[in-house]
Amino acid sequence: MPHPLPLTLAPDAQADVSALVHRSWARCAKLDPQLLADPNPLSQADLSDQIDAHQALLHHAEPSLSALGALAQANHGIAILAAPNGLILHERGNPQFLDKVQRIALRPGVSWAESQRGTNAIGTALFDGRAIRIHGAEHFLTRNQVLSCHAAPIRSATGDILGVLDLSGPADALCSYALALVRQLASGISNQILVGSPLQRLEFHPGRMAVGGAATAILLLDDALRIAGANEAALRALNTDWRLLGTPYTQWIDGTPHPQDTALRRHDGLPLTGRLLRGPQPVGAAPRKPAPPAPSPTAAHALPAPDAMNRPLLAQAVRAVDSQLAVLLQGETGTGKEVMARHIHAASARGTGAFVAINCAALPEHLIESELFGYEAGAFTGARREGARGLLRQAHQGTLFLDEIGDMPLALQTRLLRVLQEREVQPLGSEKRLALDFNLISASHQNLPERVAQGLFRADLYYRLQDIPIELPPLRARPDLARFIADQYARLGGALAADALDALVRHPWPGNYRELLSLLRRLRCLHPQEEPLTAYQLPVPAGHEPGPGSMPLDAPTAGQLHALEQSAIHQALHDCAGNISQAARRLGIHRSTLYRKLKGQP
């Protein structure tokens, strides 16, 4: 049961409760107590559907979620990504704390909207549209008061909330830097979404320094230089709100932007430095006037632009599937096989149809046939009353992507081969055979010819899948690896010193692009300052001394956490022009605490 509204607390406790929490408690007091008592988690199937529906958000948030999860692991907490309706999609962090919060339904499949869980960081951040910390007794439900939670919304280019990033831990271990960190990472995710837009973008900030850093302001511009999108840093820099969308760039900024850093001016005379950059263009697309993004969460559901090295492979694969040939993508883990498959689908003649991805290694063996082929009503015990179409039928007129095909059980390979040859499927419990028509793309990190030789993979299926085999090269094989790494880190707002770049180039990158992006986002999280990152700031394995060549550590050290706290403090002071009171509010700590930390005291 909730404890009384803050308005009834003792005066000293009442003074510690913010106006936002007061208003939230007032809203929650009007809710049905029974609704708050029942968390009503989604079934695994429904949760999977929700995860699929938010794949774009998950793609952009994954590196930040990994970085935040590593910090949570070291601080006995968890990192959470929630959908715009408050539904928890993913969480990671300390296993012991994960077990503890399961008891209060802080887990995937449960909505933490205010209407479901009372005052809490995720739900209240969604309602108020701003970053917030809900600590201990500020939670409306008594059972949630064991938590200290810090959440910030992730926004699209048009201001829609796409999701929420949250860092939660025990209420007796409050981290003063946590709210600023979560806000910064959520802002970084939003920036990545903007950078992925095909529209040209103006990156700028007040002053005459080179453009870059975590607080870079971004405007998306159409060909007529009307503002089609922005980030919150741009709104602050121009002293406005989302009403600037659709207005001319010249209404806000004087001067012509160029690809190099250029001196500009805000209309009131404030000096700015900005540069105009082109967004990624679709492969093979004719130049055309880009349309402004629609004001909805789907505006951000674009794939990252295909890499220049992979564009010839993409063009070859598109010609193949449009000629009804099967494409087999091979390459090491993390080389981007699914991303490539999605690009092939999007650029193909069937690009408007469904893209159905099946992880052949993850399907439960006893459910494989029903999941793939579908079934009639009453086909077996536990079957849905209305039956199920199956994944193969869902791909009709679209693309079927068989990921990790090398791990499919031998018994199922025979049935799959028949379906691929005949392009017909017979659902379980049915006497009818239904026609299928789809593009076929498969992928595996396994050496399939070797598995064929070992008797683990059917030779006839292998030859049916690889009309056009395409090998995606590993990250370490890039001839432009140094420039590529530097550019990727620059897109996150950071810079690399020569010794750090050299150490990163010499790393073997067994996890390829996935490993690189995760590490760079983590480094940017740990070192948000604008100065170039040096090799001595790279994480080191346990038991080693820091220095050139140091590489990723499983969890951040106490020294790194202290450095992160100091970076968050200095960033807040910079953003607030040195105003201690404003910076303290931004960090979510008391002004006296900020003074103490500036003096180097704990």
Q: Locate tokens 């869902």: which residue? A: 394
Instruction: Kindly report the number of other CB atoms within 10 A of residue 209's CB atom.
Output: 11
Q: Contact at 8 Å (CB) between 68 and 185?
A: yes
Q: Contact at 8 Å (CB) between 195 and 491?
A: yes
Question: Among the listed ranges 18-27, 276-285, 352-361, 454-463, which one has the minimum average pLDDT value?
Answer: 276-285
Q: Give the C-alpha separation, 443 to 400, whole Å.
A: 11
Question: What is the structure's pLDDT at 319?
Answer: 93
Q: Contact at 8 Å (CB) between 397 and 345?
A: no
> CATH for 6-194, among 3.20.20.140, 3.30.420.40, 1.10.10.10, 3.30.450.40?
3.30.450.40
Q: What is the pLDDT of residues 104-123, one digit of tens each?
A: 888 899 999 998 899 999 99
Q: Contact at 8 Å (CB) between 284 and 351?
A: no
Instruction: Kindly report the number of other CB atoms within 10 A of residue 192's CB atom.
Output: 21
> What residue type is 480 in one-letter code?
D
Q: Give the C-alpha separation, 422 to 119, whole Å.
A: 56
Q: Contact at 8 Å (CB) between 117 and 141?
A: yes
The bridge status of strand 132-135 relative to strand 147-155 is antiparallel
Q: Give the C-alpha separation, 519 to 66, whole Å.
A: 9
Question: Among the listed ranges 165-174, 232-241, 252-261, 519-528, which one has the minimum average pLDDT value?
Answer: 519-528
- Please say if the pLDDT value at position 420 is more than 50: yes
Each domain of the chain, given as residue ranges in start order, spans 6-194, 198-277, 310-471, 478-598
Q: Contact at 8 Å (CB) between 277 and 205?
A: no
Question: What is the structure's pLDDT at 302?
Answer: 38
Question: Among the listed ranges 36-50, 160-174, 488-502, which one has the minimum average pLDDT value?
Answer: 36-50
DSSP letters for 220-259: EE-TT-BEEEE-HHHHHHTT--GGGTTSBGGGTEES---S
Spatial CB neighbours of 65, under 8 Å, sequence gap ≥ 6: 79, 81, 90, 92, 165
Q: Give the C-alpha separation, 589 to 133, whole Å.
A: 10
Higher model confidence: residue 588 or residue 366? 588
Half-sphere exposure of 184 (CA within 13 A, CB side): 31
Q: Give the C-alpha separation, 35 to 574, whole Å.
A: 44
- The closest alpha carbon to 73, from 173, 184, 169, belongs to 169
- Please say if the pLDDT value at position 298 is more than 50: no
Which pTM does this prediction carry? 0.53
Question: What is the structure's pLDDT at 286?
Answer: 39
Both tokens of 556, joined, read 């951040």
- The closest alpha carbon to 565, from 537, 533, 600, 536, belongs to 600
DSSP letters for 285-348: PPP-PPPPPPSSGGGG-PPPPPPGGGHHHHHHHHHHHHTT--EEEE--TTS-HHHHHHHHHHHS
Both tokens of 330, joined, read 């091979």
Question: What is the structure's pLDDT at 175?
Answer: 67
Top-tier CATH class for 310-471: alpha beta
**Rounded mean pLDDT, 380-398:** 69
**Three-state SS at 359:** strand
DSSP letters for 93-126: E-HHHHHHHHTTT-STT-B--HHHHSS-HHHHHH
Q: Contact at 8 Å (CB) between 196 and 305?
A: yes
Question: What is the structure's pLDDT at 84?
Answer: 93
- Please say if the pLDDT value at position 304 is more than 80: no
User: Per-residue confidence at 317, pLDDT binned at 50, 70, 90?
Assistant: very high
- Please say if the pLDDT value at position 576 is more than 80: no
Give backbone dihedrals phi and psi of 307, rounded to 5 degrees, phi first.
Answer: -70, 150
Spatial CB neighbours of 327, under 8 Å, sequence gap ≥ 6: 317, 320, 321, 344, 440, 441, 442, 467, 468, 470
Strand pairing partners for 161? 155
Q: Give the C-alpha separation, 110 to 352, whole Å.
A: 32
Where would I find the beta strands (DSSP E) of 71-222?
78-82, 88-93, 132-135, 147-155, 161-170, 200-206, 217-221
Question: Among the listed ranges 142-156, 487-501, 518-532, which one has the minimum average pLDDT value?
Answer: 518-532
Q: Give the C-alpha separation, 299 to 529, whole Å.
A: 30
Ranked by mean pLDDT, the top range of 73-87, 359-373, 527-541, 570-584 is: 73-87
Q: What is the pLDDT of residues 3-61, one digit of tens each?
A: 433 333 333 333 334 788 999 999 999 988 877 777 778 887 788 888 888 988 988 88
Strand pairing partners for 358? 402
Question: What is the structure's pLDDT at 155?
Answer: 94
Higher model confidence: residue 45 or residue 437? 437
**Rounded mean pLDDT, 141-153:** 92
Give ∠ CA 149-152-158 in degrees, rounded to 5.
165
Q: What is the pLDDT of residues 442-465, one digit of tens each?
A: 999 889 999 999 999 999 999 999
Higher model confidence: residue 184 or residue 405? 405
The bridge status of strand 200-206 relative to strand 468-471 is unpaired
Q: Contact at 8 Å (CB) between 434 and 322?
A: no
